[in-house]
Amino acid sequence: MKGLRVAVILLVVLEAGWIIFDGAQALRTGVYLKPRLGAYGGRVGEWTRVASVLGAPPASTRAKWALIGYGIAWLCAAFAFARGAGWAWWVLFVFAGGALWYSILAVPLCLAQMLLLIAVRRDT
């Protein structure tokens, strides 16, 4: 079971770290990192539609800080999960579900994290 928890934490560090990096990069340069090839080549992920509906257009400073805050909060929840906080399981599951909108690459990573979280829950 310890291996499952470590895998969840590593996925969180990877995903949340990337979201923080992308938000900080966008604050610094004014543009988000975008894939060059594929269906999303040259475009930002689907989260931009959700952000616009919520009143934070992707180009706004508010949206960039929201990404950074999302990533930091996700990392904090992972830290609490590592320390054994019972509530952190739910928070990680919700954050992984919310990040499904972030990018096409996030989909398999988030799904893997959610499945690992379910496996951790079943083992306890």
Inside any domain, residue 112 = yes
Inside any domain, residue 39 = no
Whose tokens are 């938000």? That residue is 23
Boundaries of domain holding 92: 2-31+44-123
Q: Which has the minimum average pLDDT: 47-61, 87-101, 106-120?
A: 47-61
Inside any domain, residue 54 = yes
Burial of 59 (0-12, 13-18, 19+ CB in 10 A): middle
Inside any domain, residue 81 = yes
Question: Whose CA is closest to 109, among 122, 123, 92, 124?
Answer: 92
Inside any domain, residue 37 = no
Inside any domain, residue 38 = no
Inside any domain, residue 50 = yes
In this structure, the chain runs to a length of 124
Q: Please count the structural domains in the chain.
A: 1
For residues 55 and 37, give the distance between their C-alpha atoms in angstroms, rounded to a whole number: 29
Distance of CA 79 to the CA centre of its chain: 15
Inside any domain, residue 24 = yes
Give the confidence band of 122 by pLDDT, cuts at 50, 70, 90.
confident
**pTM for the complete prediction?**
0.87
